[in-house]
């Protein structure tokens, strides 16, 4: 349906979007099958003859097993060809790798990279406040996903990097949340505390001192000491981090990168996808593709109301005739399913209008969860 | 079980579930059900922007209570809001916009993991103690966060030795551990991965946070149609649909229903909690009429529960 070219406008295929970019970022709200889509797109990339890696964030246990991922998978490991190309029908030269993001390890690596020496790195890694940032600040996972992407891109080992994004409610968290970490690391209040009071800074410093004293009364001084120790240890690294963060964001903004929105026909998922598309448009990025999972098929015979009326007429009529009740039930059922599919189409229409000449693929509601390669290949077949 | 008794079992009910299972819808349905039983309800939105007000056809929620429906009020109580209010109550005379935007508060919250969650729960405890409503419903963060949200109090007691925040954490643990004051209602859909994750969440909450679990709500269950089969029926006259289409569509529904029953049975086996099933709604998007349908189903589900033994 929506894969057909609209009058006067031809949509590219999802396959061509994947083939035409070096980085594909799968965005969307949680619970829509993003990880599955990311894995399927990666399979497609590998089958197209490219060295591909998929960065997963929080895969369901069985899918993680299928991809060979466990707790030690913060580095890319290869998936044997027989699993994604069992009949050797894929274009030669491709390879498929997968990794499961470990945000803390990724952050630790960054710290070691930008510290002046091992001692500074260790002071930070041992610091309680640092461990809290790495473990529980919201936005760290999004930041580290982008950092991991940047790292992989820099190695030049891969022709294609497919990135899954964390399963938060708001799709935009992927773009917005990293700023929390950046802002925290850049924080001026605490910097003012450590700068010896100079003319012009004195007032700022006083406010900061007052603030800290008040906070210490609430959470205890030990906690505040850890925070100050962190910023002291981190001193000198802000520049490096800031430059790195800019380079990360530039990679996301480059023409090598395609954002693929993943959604389901659910109203809230479509809404989140629309917010995301609108934000990308503001920043002159573009959604290059839209994948809609769990779509129900249309049965365009008669309108649901007509079908229901038919069912009612049957039930009101000749009850003696065998099979009347069963037939009426089938009509009612058909009305339900067609009504659902029509509702989904309406919900998606607005979104599809909004994303310009992007590629669109619909993946039907499947009978089973996707957690092996047979199912993943079946999904990939819809993403052409 | 008696509807009024069910709704009055705990003064605070935390509704939790992974993204996409319809947690917000279930919260709304539970609120309407409780209101029908004569209770006053206050819904607390922890994540902001959840579409709850939209279910009732009302404008978006704010920090101040708004009435969504007779007997049902709602407000937001995000972690950021709770943190600002707490600090202002404890000696930071007025948190200027500049300070709030500077990220300094973020640092404080990060310095004490779980602090924001505890402040939200502390505020909930305040609402409960202050008799804000007969039933306080919390639309909790999505599953993974729900666990840490509930575990945060105990974690904090380990990390913070003294001070008002520690007192908050202690009070929160007290609230969470008392089934008469608080229980968690988990929501899922009858599909494999959501069921697996719900079971994990249930055990994590019960073991780690010591909170009582109420019945599990299984949302999105395809309602049966009386007499539906997948045998081809000779259509009566020039029908509006051909036999092949009718049969194919019947097959889809029957297969789906069978898979869902399988998952519900699996859930029952893995987690010995009663289940309340809510129907999948084929018709138009969620609005007031649909909410009433869900509330009807919820009430029927409660009625079917075994009464609590003496």
CB contact (8 A) between residue A223 and residue B112? yes
Helices A118-126 and A128-136: crossing angle, nearest 10°? 70
Confidence at residue B236, expressed as pLDDT on a 0 to 100 scale: 62
Selected for mutation to probe chain B from A29, A166, A186, A218 (highest B CB count within 10 Å) is A218
Q: Does A327 touch chain B (CB under 8 A)?
A: yes
Q: What is the distance of C-alpha B17 from the center of its chain?
A: 7
Least confident of A251-255, A343-347, B236-240, B252-256: B236-240
- Portion of chain A with pLDDT greater than 90, in percent: 53
Least confident of A241-255, A274-288, B180-194: A274-288
Confidence at residue B50, expressed as pLDDT on a 0 to 100 scale: 78
Least confident of A119-123, A291-295, B49-53, B145-149: B145-149
Residues 171-200 of B with CB under 8 A from A: 191-193, 196-197
- Nearest residue in A to B255, CA atom: A367
Which residue is listed with tokens 């269950």?
B221
CB contact (8 A) between residue B108 and residue A219? yes
A306-323 tens-digit pLDDT: 999 999 998 888 766 778
Confidence at residue B305, expressed as pLDDT on a 0 to 100 scale: 87
DSSP, residue by residue, A70-136: -TT-SS-EEEPHHHH-TTS-SPTT-EEEEEE--HHHHHHHHHHHHSSSHHHHHHHHH-HHHHHHHHH
User: Where do the DSSP E strands lie in chain A?
Assistant: 23-27, 51-56, 77-79, 95-100, 160-163, 257-263, 287-295, 359-364
* Bridge partner list, B72: B41, B69
CB contact (8 A) between residue B144 and residue A60? no
Answer whether residue A66 shows pLDDT above 70.
yes
Provide the mean pLDDT of chain A.
87
CB contact (8 A) between residue B252 and residue A337? yes
CB contact (8 A) between residue B246 and residue A129? no
Confidence of residue B241 (pLDDT cuts 50, 70, 90): confident
Q: Does B282 touch chain A (CB under 8 A)?
A: yes
- For residue B215, give the 3-state DSSP assignment: coil
Tokens of B42: 């206050």
Q: With left for phi above 0 and alpha for psi between -120 and 50, is residue A302 left, alpha or beta?
A: beta
Q: Does B55 touch chain A (CB under 8 A)?
A: no
Answer whether residue A265 shows pLDDT above 50.
yes
Q: Does B255 touch chain A (CB under 8 A)?
A: yes
Answer whether residue A129 shows pLDDT above 80.
yes
Average pLDDT over residues A281-290: 84
B82, B116 contact by CB (below 8 A): yes
B185, B15 contact by CB (below 8 A): yes
CB contact (8 A) between residue A31 and residue B18? yes
User: Nearest CB to A136: which of B86, B113, B163?
Assistant: B113
CB neighbour list of residue A99: distance below 8 Å, 6 or more residues apart = A53, A54, A55, A56, A69, A73, A74, A75, A76, A77, A148
Confidence at residue A186, expressed as pLDDT on a 0 to 100 scale: 79
CB contact (8 A) between residue B240 and residue A339? no
Tokens of A334: 């058909």
Confidence at residue A19, expressed as pLDDT on a 0 to 100 scale: 95
- Nearest residue in B to A366, CA atom: B256
Helices B164-177 and B115-129: crossing angle, nearest 10°? 60
Alpha carbons A250 and B84: distance in angstroms, whole number: 34
Q: Does A140 touch chain B (CB under 8 A)?
A: no
CB contact (8 A) between residue B240 and residue A167? no
User: Nearest CB to B241: which of A180, A223, A307?
Assistant: A307
Query: Which of chain B's residues have a Cβ under 8 Å away from the Cβ of A333?
Result: 225, 228, 246, 249-250, 253
Residues 5-34 of B with CB under 8 A from A: 18-21
Least confident of A10-19, A93-102, A104-113, A278-287: A278-287
User: Nearest CB to A369: which of B144, B165, B192?
Assistant: B192
Confidence at residue A198, expressed as pLDDT on a 0 to 100 scale: 47
B77-108 tens-digit pLDDT: 988 888 888 878 877 766 656 666 667 778 88
Residues 139-178 of B with CB under 8 A from A: 142, 144, 148, 159-166
Residues 219-248 of B with CB under 8 A from A: 225-229, 231, 233-236, 239-242, 245-247
Torsion of CA B200, B201, B206, B207, to 10 degrees: 60
Beta-sheet pairing, A23-27 with A51-56? unpaired
User: Nearest CB to B160: which of A31, A223, A329?
Assistant: A223
User: Nearest CB to B102: which of A129, A132, A189?
Assistant: A189
Please report the number of interchain residue pairs, chain A to chain B, with beta-carbon separation below 8 angstroms.
193
Provide the mean pLDDT of chain B.
86
Q: Which residue has the higher pLDDT, B78 or A25?
A: A25
Answer whether residue B113 shows pLDDT above 90.
no
Confidence of residue A251 (pLDDT cuts 50, 70, 90): very high
Instruction: For residue A346, give how far its alpha carbon lies from the nearest alpha carbon of chain B (Å).
Output: 10
Alpha carbons A105 and A134: distance in angstroms, whole number: 9
DSSP B238: S
- How far is residue A277 from each of residues A172, A259, B120, measured CA to CA in Å? 9, 9, 32
Answer whether residue A71 shows pLDDT above 90.
no
Q: Is the ipTM of this structure higher than 0.85?
A: yes
Confidence of residue B308 (pLDDT cuts 50, 70, 90): low
Length of chain A: 384
Answer whether residue A5 shows pLDDT above 60.
no
Q: With left for phi above 0 and alpha for psi between -120 and 50, is residue A49 left, alpha or beta?
A: left
A39-57 tens-digit pLDDT: 999 999 999 999 999 999 9
Confidence at residue B158, expressed as pLDDT on a 0 to 100 scale: 75
Alpha carbons A129 and A132: distance in angstroms, whole number: 5
CB contact (8 A) between residue B192 and residue A325? no
Nearest to A246 by CA among A204, A186, A312, A324: A186
Instruction: For residue A72, give how far its alpha carbon lies from the nearest alpha carbon of chain B (Å).
Output: 20
Confidence at residue A201, expressed as pLDDT on a 0 to 100 scale: 43
Which residue is listed with tokens 């890319």?
A76
Confidence at residue B292, expressed as pLDDT on a 0 to 100 scale: 92
Confidence at residue A216, expressed as pLDDT on a 0 to 100 scale: 79
Least confident of A67-71, A236-240, B192-196, B278-282: A67-71
CB contact (8 A) between residue A169 and residue B47? yes
Confidence at residue B310, expressed as pLDDT on a 0 to 100 scale: 37
* Bridge partner list, A262: A291
């Amino acid at each position: 349906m929506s894969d057909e070219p609209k009058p006067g406008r031809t949509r590219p295929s999802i396959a061509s979007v994947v083939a035409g970019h070096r980085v594909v970022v799968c965005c969307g709200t949680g619970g829509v099958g993003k990880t599955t889509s990311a894995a399927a797109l990666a399979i497609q990339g590998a089958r197209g003859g490219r060295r591909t890696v998929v960065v997963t964030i929080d895969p369901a246990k069985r899918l993680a097993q299928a991809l060979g991922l466990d707790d030690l998978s913060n580095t890319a490991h290869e998936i044997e060809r027989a699993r994604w190309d069992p009949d050797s029908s894929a274009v030669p030269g491709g390879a498929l790798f997968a990794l499961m993001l470990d945000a803390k390890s990724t952050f630790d690596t960054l710290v070691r990279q930008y510290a002046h020496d091992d001692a500074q790195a260790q002071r930070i890694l041992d610091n309680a406040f640092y461990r809290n940032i790495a473990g529980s600040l919201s936005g760290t996972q999004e930041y580290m996903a982008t950092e991991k992407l940047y790292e992989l891109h820099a190695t030049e080992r891969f022709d294609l990097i497919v990135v899954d994004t964390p399963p938060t409610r708001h799709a935009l968290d992927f773009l917005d949340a990293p700023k929390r970490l950046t802002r925290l690391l850049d924080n001026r209040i605490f910097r003012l505390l450590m700068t010896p009071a100079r003319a012009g800074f004195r007032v700022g410093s006083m406010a900061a001192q007052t603030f800290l004293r008040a906070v210490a009364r609430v959470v205890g001084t030990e906690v505040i000491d850890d925070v100050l120790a962190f910023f002291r240890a981190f001193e000198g690294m802000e520049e490096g981090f800031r430059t790195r963060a800019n380079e990360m964001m530039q990679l996301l903004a480059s023409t090598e990168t395609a954002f693929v929105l993943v959604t389901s026909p659910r109203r809230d998922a479509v809404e989140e996808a629309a917010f995301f598309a609108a934000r990308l448009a503001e920043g002159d990025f573009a959604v290059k593709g839209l994948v809609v999972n769990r779509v129900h098929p249309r049965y365009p015979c008669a309108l649901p109301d007509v079908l229901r009326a038919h069912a009612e007429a049957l039930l009101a009529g000749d009850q003696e005739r065998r099979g009347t009740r069963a037939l009426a039930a089938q009509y009612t059922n058909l009305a339900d399913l067609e009504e659902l599919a029509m509702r989904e189409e309406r919900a998606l229409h607005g979104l599809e209008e909004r994303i310009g000449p992007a590629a669109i693929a619909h993946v039907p509601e499947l009978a089973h969860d996707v957690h092996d390669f047979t199912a993943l290949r079946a999904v990939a077949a819809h993403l052409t | 079980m008696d509807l009024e008794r069910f709704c009055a079992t705990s003064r605070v009910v935390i509704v939790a579930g992974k993204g996409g299972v319809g947690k917000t819808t279930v919260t709304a349905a539970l609120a309407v059900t409780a209101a029908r039983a004569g209770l006053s309800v206050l819904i607390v939105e922890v994540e902001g922007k959840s579409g709850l007000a939209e279910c009732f056809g009302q404008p978006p929620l704010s920090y101040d209570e708004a009435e969504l429906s007779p007997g049902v009020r709602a407000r937001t109580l995000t972690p950021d809001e709770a943190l600002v209010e707490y600090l202002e109550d404890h000696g930071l005379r007025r948190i200027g916009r500049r300070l709030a935007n500077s990220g300094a508060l973020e640092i404080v919250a990060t310095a004490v993991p779980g602090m924001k969650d505890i402040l939200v729960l502390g505020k909930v405890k305040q609402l409960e103690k202050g008799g804000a409503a007969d039933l306080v419903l919390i639309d909790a963060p999505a599953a993974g966060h729900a666990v840490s949200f509930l575990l945060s109090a105990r974690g904090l007691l380990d990390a913070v030795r003294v001070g008002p925040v520690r007192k908050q954490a202690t009070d929160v643990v007290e609230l969470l551990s008392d089934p008469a004051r608080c229980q968690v209602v988990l929501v899922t859909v009858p599909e494999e991965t959501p069921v697996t994750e719900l079971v994990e969440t249930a055990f994590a909450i019960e073991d780690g946070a010591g909170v009582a679990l109420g019945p599990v709500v299984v949302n999105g269950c395809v309602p049966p149609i009386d007499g539906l089969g997948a045998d081809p029926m000779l259509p009566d006259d020039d029908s509006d649909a051909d036999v092949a289409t009718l049969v194919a569509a019947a097959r889809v529904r029957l297969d789906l229903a069978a898979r869902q029953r399988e998952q519900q049975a699996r859930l029952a086996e893995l987690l010995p909690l009663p289940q309340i099933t809510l129907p999948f709604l084929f018709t138009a998007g969620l609005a007031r009429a649909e909410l009433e349908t869900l509330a009807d189903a919820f009430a029927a589900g409660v009625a079917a529960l075994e009464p609590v033994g003496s």
